[in-house]
Amino acid sequence: MGICQSQEEKDLQAKTKQIDRELIQGHASASKVVKLLLLGAGESGKSTLLKQMRILHDHGFSDEEIVKQKSVVYNNTVQGMASIIRGMTQLNLNFKNGGLESDARVVLDVVKRGEESEPITSECAKALIALWNDENVRAAAIRGNEFQLSESAPQ
- Binding residues for Mg(2+) are 47
Residue 80 has φ and ψ, to the nearest 5°, of -60, -45
Nearest to 133 by CA among 93, 91, 89, 103: 103
- Annotated binding-site residues for GTP read 43-48
For residue 101, what are the CA distances in angstroms to 53, 91, 105, 112, 124? 42, 16, 6, 16, 13
Distance between CA 111 and CA 12 in Å, rounded? 63
Specify binding-site residues: 43-48
